[in-house]
Structure 1
Amino acid sequence: MAERLKNQASAYLRQHAGNPVDWWPFGDEAFDEARRRDVPVFISIGYAACHWCHVMAHESFEDPETARILNRDFVSIKVDREERPDVDSAYMAATQALTGQGGWPMSVFTLPDGRTYYAGTYFPPRQLQGTPSFRQVLEAVSSAWRDRRGDVEQSAEQIAAHLASNQLANRNLLGDLSAAVPLPDSASGTAEALAAAVGALAAAEDTEYGGFGGSPKFPPSPLLRFLLAHAYSGAPTAGTASALAGRTLTAMALGGIYDQVGGGFARYAVDRRWQVPHFEKMLYDNAQLLRIYAHFSRLAEDADSKALALRVTRETAGWMAAELAVPGGAFASSLDADTLVDGHRVEGATYVFTRAELQEVLGAGSAALDLLDLDADDGASHRLPGSTLRLRAVPDEAQAAVWADARAALAAVRSARPQPERDGKVVAGWNGLAVAALADAALALADAGIPEDWMLPAAESAAGYLLEVHWDGRILRRVSSDGQAQGIEGLLEDYAGVAEGLFALYAATGNPRWHQAAQQLAATAVERFLGPAGLSDTALEPEQIRQAQGGQSAANPLDDAVPSGTGLLAGVLLTSASYGGPGRHRALAEGLVAHVQRAAPAIPQAVGWSMAVQQFILDGPQELAVTGTDPAAVARLLSAGRAVGGPGLVIAHGEADGVGLLEGRETAAPALAFVCRGMVCRRPVDTAGDVEAELAART
C-alpha cells in the first residue's frame, strides 16, 4: 500500500514502505487528496533511530485492521523529522499546546489545509492506564470530523492562532534586523548579560553530577560552546564558565552516555548521573561534542583531564568514521537505539555487559574491572540485558593504559554481536558541523603531539561531497541518499551549517577553495533567508505549515539539539566579515544576536550558540593571519595561536586568493603572524611566544 515511500531518501520512510497503511510523503498531493475525499489528515512523525517509533509501527501501522481504519477515514502522511524539521517544529508546537508535552512518535490530526485539531505522541494498541488505544483515538477523531465539523474548525483555528503568537514572539525577540546597528552602550550591556548568563548557569548546575537539570539529561552542546568561548574572554566570570564546562564534559566522558568501548555519545541519559543512555547515536550530537572536546582539551587544568579530553576526541572521530561514513565521504544521520536480537528489538543489546561477561573477557582479577562503576543488578533495574560501562574517575596515565587494553578486548567481543541499524541519509547542515568538528579535532590532536593523519582528509572528503552532491551553485539540498540529492531545499541551518564547516576547514588547511565556497554559501543564505519581512528558517515554506502557524512563517532563534539557524548564520556572517567578506555581514551578525542581551540572563540554555557568537563579537573577534616561506615555521605560529586564541579565533594562512585578511601581508620571511581585530592588525611578530602574548592581550 505504501509504494510512495519506497524510493524516498529517508530510511525511516522506506522502513514503512511495506505497511498496509496507504502512506503519503508530506506534500501538496497528500493534502489535495484529503480535500478531494473530504477526510482529515493523519501525520505520523518520527525518525529511524527512535525506539518508540518502532514500537508503534509494529503494534499499529503493521496491523491490518488499524490500517483499514486509517485508509478509510484519513489520508495518512509519514514524516521523518530529521528530513523535515520545518514540519516537525510546527506540529510539535501544536502537540505541546494541546497536551503539555511532546515527543516521538508524534501523532497529529489536521484539516486538509494543514491546521491541527488533535495531537498526541505514542498511542498503545490497547487502552492502558487511562491512555486510549490508537484505534479509539482514530474513531473519536474521525467521528468529530464527521459529526462536529464546526467544533473541529474552531479548535483548529484556536491552535493556529496560538502557534502564530509563538512565531510573533520569536520575531519580537529577534527585533528589527533591517537596522542591524548596535546601540552605543550595547557592548557593555552585552558583556553584563553574558556574565549574568554564566551566573544563572552556575545556579542551575547539577553540582553533584554535572550538567543542568535532572533526568532525562541531554548534552547541552550549543551552551558548552558558549562556556568555552567565555572561558577565553578574560571576563571576571571566565573561570566560572571554564569550571562549569569542565565538570559537565568530564562527567559525560566518564559516564554511560559515552560509549567507553566504541566511542561516540548517545542522544541523552535517562538519569541525572549520565549513567544509562537512550542508546541512539546521532551525527548532530557527536559532531558538536567532538568539536567541543577538541577545544576543551586545550583548557583542561591537569594532565589527566587533558588526556581524557583528547581520548574522547580521538575515539569519537574514529567512531564517526567507522560507523557513519558513507560512500563519497559524507556521514550518515544516526545509529538506531535498538538491536535486532532473535527477531526482537532490544535497546542497548550491542553495548551492555554483565559482570560475568566482563570477567570472562578481561579475567576475574583484571585491574580494568576496578576502574568501572557497574550496576549491581547487571542493568535489570533499567530493563537492560547488562550494565552500561562507566569509569569511576578520571584515569591516570597507568589506568588509561589498562583501560585501553580492556577496551580493545571488549570491542572484539562486541563486534561479533548484532549491530544497530543505520539511517544512511546525509543531512547537509549536520555534515557541515561534522566537517568543522573533524577539522578542529585534527588540529587539537596534532598540537598535542598525537596526530591522526586521516582526519583532515576525511573532513575534506565530506566537504567535497557536500559541494558536489548537495550544492549546485544556487541551491543547497538538505538531504541525499546513495549519492543523490533528494527532496527539499536546505533550511537556514543547512546553509549556515555547511558554511560553518567550510570556514573551519579553510582555517585548518589554508586551501582557498573552502573559503570561497563558504563565502558563496553565506551570501546565498542572506539572499534566500533574509527578506523584507525579516528572517525565515525556510526559503520556501509549505503552505500547510504556514496555515498550521496561523499564517506566520517560522524564524526560531532558540537552540534545540542543534544550534538555531539564527545563531549559526550569525557566526558564519561574522567569520565572513573577518576574512574580508561584505562589510554588511558584520552588521547583520550583530543584529542577529542582539536578542542575547535580553535572552541570556533569562534563558541561557536556549541561546548558547548565539551567546558564543556574541562573545566572539565582544572579543573583536580576534583574527590571526600567518604568512611565510617556511611551512614548518608557519605551522609553529599557527599552533601557538590556537593554543591561546580559543574557539572564536579566525585563522587565515596559505595563498591570499580572495582572502582579504591575507592580502598585502605576503612576506619573504620564514613566517610572520599578524594579530588583528576587525582586520585592523598589530605589528607582525615571528615567534610563538609573541603570538601568544599578542592574543592574550585581547586589546
Structure 2
Amino acid sequence: MPNRLANATSPYLLQHADNPVDWREWGDEAFAEAERTGKPVLLSVGYAACHWCHVMAHESFEDEATAAQMNARFVNVKVDREERPDVDTVYMAATQALTGQGGWPMTVFLTPDRKPFYAGTYFPPTARQGMPAFSQVLDAVSAAWDDRRDEVVSSAAGIAAQLAEQRLVAAPGAVTPADLDAARQGLERDFDPTYGGFGRAPKFPPSMVLEALLRDGSEQALEMASRTCTAMARGGIYDQLVGGFARYSVDAHWVVPHFEKMLYDNALLLGVYTHLWRRTGDPLASRVVEETVDWLLRELRTPQGAFAASLDADSLDASGHLHEGAFYAWTPEHLVEVLGPEDGAWAARVFAVTTAGTFEHGASTLQRPGVGEDEPERLAGVRARLAEAREQRARPGRDDKVVAAWNGWLVDSLVEAAEVFGRPDWREAARAAAELVWEVHWQADERRLRRTSRDGRPGGAAGILEDHSAVAAAYVRLGCATGDPVWVERARTLLAVVEEQFPDGRGGWFDTAADAEALYTRPQEVTDNATPSGLSATLRALHLMARLTGEDAYARRADEAAATVGALVPRAPRFAGWLWAEAVSEVLPAAAPVEVAVVGPAGPERDALVRLAWDRAPAGSVVVAGEEGAAGFALLEDRSARDGRPTAYVCRGFVCRLPVTDPEALAEQLRTV
C-alpha cells in the first residue's frame, strides 16, 4: 500500500512511496499533525543517487518492525535535498553543529515548530563501529521526548537561536591584484603535484577553482589547471568508455570514484574543459568535451528536451544484488570474454585493469594512462565493443527530475562549447533545454521559477537564488549565440526577481526569497562547494548582462555584492572559485572581457568571425552577431558592415576598435585588446 509520497514529483521521494513508513512530504500538514498528536518529527533528507541513502532505506525504512517504531512515535518527513536545498542547508548546519560532521542520508529530530534537537547521518540497523543502531536512536529520542520534553524543547529553542544568530563571517573588501596572487599562492600549497587536485582524499572535481586558474592564465595557474584536468580525464572518475564524470574520487589518485554521475558536475566541467581547450589547444580537452556532450545527450536528456539530475552509483551485479559500481567495473577475464585473448590483454594494459583489481573483489575501474594511444583505430574499436557489452548489464537508475539551476549551468557551458567547436546541433540542444525551463518552470502568475519539474510537470518547491541566476546567465549566453533578443528579455526578468526577492540589505543576497517559507534561519551560503554559491552565480549573470547590454546598473550591483565577500578570495580560494574567477576578469587588464559585435549577411564568412571570437576572446566576454540594423541588441546598434562583408567590432565598455573583416585581423585584435 503506497504511503503519502505516491504523488510526489521527486524520484527520490517516489523511491520511498512503498515503504511501510508513513512518510509525509515537507510542509505545513506534517507539522500540524505533529502539533495535534504531540509527537516529534523525524526528518530524513537524501537524494536519489546517494548510495548510503539506499543502504539505510533497505536496512531500516523497508523493515516492518523499524517502520512500526517510527510510525508509532514520530511524524515522519522525507525530503529530497535537490528539490529543497533550503531545508537541506539549514538542517545540515544543525547536524554539523550537533555532531561535528554532515552527510547524507541526514536524520534530524525536530519539535513540532520545526526546531532541531538531535541529529545524525546514516544509522545502521545494529550497533557497529561506534554507531548506535537506528532502533536505539529511536528509543532514546522517544524516551527523551516523553520524559524530559520541557528540557528537549528548551534545548531545541537554544540550538535554533544560536544557529540563527550565526552570521556570515565578515569578509568585505574589494579584490586587488595582490589578493589574486595570494589566492594562487595559497592554492599552490594545497596542490598535489603528482596526481593533481587539491588536498587529500576524497577528491572532488574542483570545477570553480579550475575556472579561476584558467582565467588567471599565469604559468603556475595553468600548470595546476592542466595537471588536474589531465589527471581527472585519465582517471577512473571519468567514464573511459562513453564519457561523463562521477561525483568524486574516494582516493587521492582519481582511480576509484563514488560512481554516481551528477548533472551539475558535468555541466560545470564541460565549461572548464572547453576553456582549457581555448587556453591550450590540448586535444585531450577537446575529446573530453565531445564525449561528455555525447553522454549528456544520450543518457541524461529527457523526452521534453531538458536534462535529468543524475545517475545512481548502484546497479544490479551479475548475481542480481544491488552493488555500487557494478555497471562500471571490469576484471581481466571480463575483457577477454568480450574482446578475445589478444585484444583483451591489450585492453587490460590500456585501461590499467589488473588481476589484483583497483576497486573491489578483484575488479578494476577503467583508467587511461596513455598506453595504446598510438593505435587510435584499435582503441576506438575496443572502446566501442566494451561499451556495447556493458549495455547488456543492468543500468544504474536515473533521477529524471529537471533542476532549474543545473540545467542553467549546462546550457551556459553547452552554448559556449557549441560556438567554440562549431556545433550548431549542440546549440539547438541547449536552446531546447532552455525553452523547457521557461515553459515549465517559470510561473508567470508567481513571477518565480519553480526549482524542479518531472515529465513536463513543475514541482511544488520555489526556485532559490541559484536557480534564477544560473538560468539568467544561460539565457544571456543563448541570446548571444542565437541572436534572438527574447532570451535577453527573459534574463532581464529573472534578474529583476533576484533584486525584488533576494537582497539581504547588506549588498548581498539570501538564498531564499523574501516570501519563501520561513525556516528557523534564512539560508545564505556564499562559499562554493560542489556547485557555485548563489552569490557567485549571480555575479556571473550580472557581469554577462552588463557586457551585453552596456547598462551600468548591472555592473554596479555586481561590484556592490562582490565587495561584501571579497576577502574570501585570498583567505579561502578553494571555496571561492567563481568569486575569484570573476575578480580576475574585473581586476587584471590582460584578462578583461570584451564585447564582440559581428554584423553583416549570414553565411560562412560571418560564421568564421563569430567562431573565432568565441574561441579567442577572454573568458566572460560576450559575442553577438546579426544583420545590419538588427533590433534587440544594443551592441549591434550603429554598427555597419564594411563593403557589404561581415564585419567584427571588438569593444571594451562599448568603446570599439577599428572594424575588421579579416579573421587574422580579428585574431590580432583579440590578442592585443
Q: Give me the identity figure in percent.
A: 47
Task: For residue 127 of structure 1, report the CA deviation from its aligned partner.
Answer: 1.0
CA displacement, residues 329-373 of structure 1 (integer Å, 9 cap, x when unaligned): 001100010002454211111111111111232333334443222
Q: State which of 182, 186, 192 in structure 2 corresponds to 1:200.
A: 186
Task: For residue 520 of structure 1, report the CA deviation from its aligned partner.
Answer: 2.2
Gaps of 5+ in 2: none
Say whether 1:223 aligns with 2:203. no
What is aligned with 2:366?
389
What is aligned with 1:466?
437
Secondary structure of residue in 2 paired with 1:169: coil
Tell me which moved more, 479-488 or 608-617.
608-617
* C-alpha distance in structure 2 between counterparts of 1:52 and 1:291, whole Å: 30
Say whether 1:146 aligns with 2:146. yes
The correspondence of residues 279-358 of structure 1 with structure 2, limited to 5 A, is: 279-300=259-280, 306-341=282-317, 342-358=319-335
* C-alpha distance in structure 2 between counterparts of 1:399 and 1:502, whole Å: 42
Secondary structure of residue in 2 paired with 1:212: coil
* C-alpha distance in structure 2 between counterparts of 1:314 and 1:360, whole Å: 29
Q: State which of 511, 514, 538 in structure 2 corresponds to 1:569.
A: 538
CA displacement, residues 264-283 of structure 1 (integer Å, 9 cap, x when unaligned): 01000110000001110010
* C-alpha distance in structure 1 between counterparts of 2:411 and 2:357, whole Å: 38
* C-alpha distance in structure 1 between counterparts of 2:11 and 2:341, whole Å: 43
Q: State which of 606, 612, 617 in structure 2 corresponds to 1:640.
A: 612
What is aligned with 2:161?
161
Q: 1:402/1:309 Cα in 2 relative to 1: closer, same or farther (>3 Å)?
A: farther
Q: Is the 8 A contact 1:266 1:279 kept in 2?
A: yes
What is aligned with 2:656?
681
What code does the residue aligned with 2:389 have? V
Tell me which moved more, 673-682 or 116-125.
673-682
* C-alpha distance in structure 2 between counterparts of 1:190 and 1:490, whole Å: 34
Q: State which of 334, 340, 362 in structure 2 corresponds to 1:363.
A: 340
* C-alpha distance in structure 1 between counterparts of 2:638 and 2:260, whole Å: 50
Q: Is the 8 A contact 1:673 1:691 kept in 2?
A: yes
Q: State which of 419, 422, 425 in structure 1 corresponds to 2:398.
A: 422
Tell me which moved more, 415-424 or 646-655.
646-655
CA displacement, residues 640-673 of structure 1 (integer Å, 9 cap, x when unaligned): 2233223211112125422112211133531222
Secondary structure of residue in 2 paired with 1:489: coil
Secondary structure of residue in 1 paired with 2:451: strand
Q: Is the 8 A contact 2:593 2:618 kept in 1?
A: no
Q: State which of 516, 520, 528 in structure 1 corresponds to 2:501.
A: 528
Q: Is the 8 A contact 1:516 1:658 kept in 2?
A: no
What code does the residue aligned with 1:423 have? D
Task: For residue 454 of structure 1, report the CA deviation from its aligned partner.
Answer: 2.7
Q: State which of 659, 666, 672 in structure 1 corresponds to 2:640.
A: 666
Say whether 1:509 aligns with 2:482. yes
Q: Is the 8 A contact 1:347 1:384 kept in 2?
A: no
Secondary structure of residue in 1 paired with 2:660: coil
Task: For residue 5 of structure 1, report the CA deviation from its aligned partner.
Answer: 0.8
Say whether 1:608 aligns with 2:577. yes
The correspondence of residues 517-556 of structure 1 with structure 2, limited to 5 A, is: 517-530=490-503, 532=505, 535-540=509-514, 543=517, 545=519, 547=520, 549=521, 553-556=522-525
What is aligned with 1:617?
586
* C-alpha distance in structure 1 between counterparts of 2:597 and 2:23, whole Å: 55
Q: Is the 8 A contact 2:13 2:80 kept in 1?
A: yes
* C-alpha distance in structure 2 between counterparts of 1:194 and 1:330, whole Å: 37
What is aligned with 1:6?
6
Q: Is the 8 A contact 2:480 2:624 kept in 1?
A: yes
What is aligned with 2:378?
402
Secondary structure of residue in 2 paired with 1:17: coil
* C-alpha distance in structure 2 between counterparts of 1:254 and 1:162, whole Å: 46
* C-alpha distance in structure 2 between counterparts of 1:368 and 1:607, whole Å: 40
* C-alpha distance in structure 2 between counterparts of 1:679 and 1:498, whole Å: 25
Task: For residue 532 of structure 1, report the CA deviation from its aligned partner.
Answer: 4.0
Q: Is the 8 A contact 1:40 1:109 kept in 2?
A: yes
Q: Is the 8 A contact 1:10 1:481 kept in 2?
A: yes
Task: For residue 507 of structure 1, report the CA deviation from its aligned partner.
Answer: 2.8
What is aligned with 1:586?
555
Q: Is the 8 A contact 1:190 1:596 kept in 2?
A: no
Task: For residue 300 of structure 1, report the CA deviation from its aligned partner.
Answer: 2.6
* C-alpha distance in structure 2 between counterparts of 1:434 and 1:695, whole Å: 26
Q: Is the 8 A contact 1:275 1:388 kept in 2?
A: yes
* C-alpha distance in structure 2 between counterparts of 1:191 and 1:684, whole Å: 32
Q: Is the 8 A contact 1:567 1:592 kept in 2?
A: no
Task: For residue 298 of structure 1, report the CA deviation from its aligned partner.
Answer: 1.9
Task: For residue 387 of structure 1, report the CA deviation from its aligned partner.
Answer: 0.8
Say whether 1:650 aligns with 2:622. yes
Secondary structure of residue in 1 paired with 2:228: helix
**TM-score with structure 2 setting the length:** 0.94
Q: State which of 265, 275, 296 in structure 1 corresponds to 2:245.
A: 265
CA displacement, residues 561-604 of structure 1 (integer Å, 9 cap, x when unaligned): 11111011111111111111642111111122224531111100
* C-alpha distance in structure 2 between counterparts of 1:340 and 1:388, whole Å: 17
* C-alpha distance in structure 2 between counterparts of 1:402 and 1:594, whole Å: 54
* C-alpha distance in structure 2 between counterparts of 1:248 and 1:83, whole Å: 31
What is aligned with 1:251?
231
Say whether 1:482 aligns with 2:481. no
**TM-score with structure 1 setting the length:** 0.91
Task: For residue 679 of structure 1, report the CA deviation from its aligned partner.
Answer: 1.9
Q: 1:137/1:395 Cα in 2 relative to 1: closer, same or farther (>3 Å)?
A: same
Secondary structure of residue in 2 paired with 1:404: helix
Q: 1:542/1:203 Cα in 2 relative to 1: closer, same or farther (>3 Å)?
A: same
What code does the residue aligned with 1:338 have? D
CA displacement, residues 514-562 of structure 1 (integer Å, 9 cap, x when unaligned): 22222222222222212646521111565562x2x3xxx2221111211
Q: 1:532/1:601 Cα in 2 relative to 1: closer, same or farther (>3 Å)?
A: closer
